[in-house]
């Protein structure tokens, strides 16, 4: 696995990622600056015409910053092709600012807030941009977590949702969610501060899924789709996990019984994540219906898995560089890229 210090992201390609909104606005003051950024990402070593293969500086137009014209064949190349910005009339700078707002940790922004922040006259424009950017979060991460012999995966289920107003106490509308989190013994490279950490262990990548019940079929099915075989998986001693060894996992069931200290010892990080997930859902999305819960789990997972790499989140949301099957810079720099194996393309 390739691991490159995060500083490389900032220095290589001379594309610094801003850490505050004022800094962001200085970096991308206008559409021309955004277009230059897109050009730099696509052609690190200078323009190369996709039509005729010519190199050398293309023509640029002040009135149409997202279009370059090849000097050799005179054909136009659109910088926004293949991104969420393709074929929209909204200025590039609005898209960039929007993606910055959504990728920063600001949770659950409404279209009205978004409209105000971006200074848009039409609510519909804000709504559409927000939805297009959000679509970039719903795309599930494809590779399975785990697979590193030094690390293990904590796995557990939890009930999300609960008593709806007026229906009294109890377990109305609760939805079962199963989660798997990589636990690493070393601090991931990066600058993140909000690292869930217990006893020198660090959270790696996360997977969350709504499951219909606690049967072996549901739970083991989730593990197979989310965790690489051979990984050490820690669960409670619920019988449905009994088949994991046979499925090729190094299964360690722990007897929680009624002693919370046992869970704290063996499944601390997945419990911490469930607790963060629930306060996030409570705080900004009052009453998420079971039908939409998976979308919120995806958004939570998207932010969690990219928390050290806001640059990756920003680019993923805009759809920049996402159309190539080879590793993107983001993949390489984050250390998340794994060369194709049997696990690739799964899920």
Sign of the CA dihedral running 75, 69, 11, 318: negative
The number of beta carbons lying within 10 Å of the beta carbon of residue 46 is 11
Q: Which is nearer to Zn ion, 15 or 81 (CB)?
A: 81
Q: Binding to Zn ion by residue 102, rule CB under 5 A?
A: no
CB of 13 to Zn ion, least distance (A): 23
Minimum distance from residue 57 beta carbon to Zn ion (Å): 12
Query: Is residue 183 at the binding interface for Zn ion, with CB under 5 A as the rule?
Result: no
Show the CA angle centred on residue 240, arms to residues 238 and 243, nearest 5°: 115
By rule CB under 5 A, what string of x and - marks binding of each residue 111-130 to Zn ion? --------------------
* Residue 72 touches Zn ion, criterion: CB under 5 A: yes
Binder to Zn ion among 6, 35, 70, 177 (CB under 5 A)? 70
Q: How many CB atoms are located within 10 Å of the residue 108 CB?
A: 13
Q: Does 54 bind Zn ion (CB under 5 A)?
A: yes
Q: Applying CB under 5 A, does 49 fall inside the site for Zn ion? A: yes
Closer to Zn ion by CB, 66 or 115: give it: 66
Residue 61 near Zn ion by CB under 5 A: no
Q: Is 52 in the site for Zn ion (CB under 5 A)?
A: yes
Q: CA 275 to CA 266: how far, in whole Å? A: 16
**Residue 148, token pair as written in the block:** 């590193």
CA 268 remoteness from chain centre: 22
Query: Can residue 211 be called a binding residue for Zn ion (CB under 5 A)?
Result: no
Q: Does 46 bind Zn ion (CB under 5 A)?
A: no
CB of 217 to Zn ion, least distance (A): 55
Separation CA 80–CA 83 (nearest Å): 5
Say if CB 86 and CB 80 are below 8 A apart: yes
The sign one gets for the Cα dihedral 45, 51, 53, 56 is negative
Short-list 154, 254, 250, CA closest to 196: 154
- Minimum distance from residue 53 beta carbon to Zn ion (Å): 7
- Using the rule CB under 5 A, is 51 a contact of Zn ion? yes
Residues that bind Zn ion (CB under 5 A): 49, 51-52, 54, 70, 72-73
């Amino acid at each position: 696995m390739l691991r490159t210090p995060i500083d490389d992201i900032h220095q290589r390609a001379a594309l610094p990622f801003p850490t505050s909104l004022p800094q962001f606005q200085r970096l991308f003051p206008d559409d021309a600056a955004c277009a230059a950024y897109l050009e730099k990402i696509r052609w690190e070593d200078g323009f190369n015409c996709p039509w005729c293969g010519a190199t050398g500086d293309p023509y640029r137009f002040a009135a149409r910053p997202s279009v370059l014209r090849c000097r050799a064949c005179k054909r136009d190349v659109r910088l926004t092709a293949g991104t969420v910005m393709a074929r929209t009339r909204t200025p590039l700078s609005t898209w960039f600012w929007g993606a910055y707002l959504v990728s920063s940790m600001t949770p659950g922004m409404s279209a009205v807030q978004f409209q105000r922040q971006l200074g848009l006259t039409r609510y519909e424009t804000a709504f559409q941009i927000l939805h297009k950017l959000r679509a970039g979060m719903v795309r599930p991460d494809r590779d399975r977590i785990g697979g590193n012999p030094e690390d293990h995966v904590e796995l557990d289920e939890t009930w999300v949702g609960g008593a709806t107003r007026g229906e009294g106490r109890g377990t109305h509308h609760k939805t079962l969610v199963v989660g798997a989190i990589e636990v690493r013994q070393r601090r991931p490279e990066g600058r993140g501060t909000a690292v869930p950490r217990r006893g020198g262990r660090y959270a790696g990548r996360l997977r969350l899924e709504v499951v219909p019940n606690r049967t072996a079929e549901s739970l083991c099915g989730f593990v197979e789709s989310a965790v690489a075989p051979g990984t050490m998986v820690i669960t409670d001693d619920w019988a449905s996990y009994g088949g994991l060894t046979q499925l090729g996992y190094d299964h360690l069931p722990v007897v929680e019984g009624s002693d919370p200290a046992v869970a704290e010892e063996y499944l601390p990080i997945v419990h911490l994540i469930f607790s963060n997930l629930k306060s996030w859902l409570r705080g900004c999305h009052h009453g998420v219906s079971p039908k939409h819960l998976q979308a919120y789990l995806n958004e939570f997972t998207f932010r969690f898995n990219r928390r050290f790499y806001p640059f990756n989140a920003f680019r993923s949301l805009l759809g920049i560089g996402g159309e190539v099957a080879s590793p993107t810079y983001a993949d390489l720099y984050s250390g998340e890229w794994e060369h194709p194996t049997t696990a690739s393309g799964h899920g």
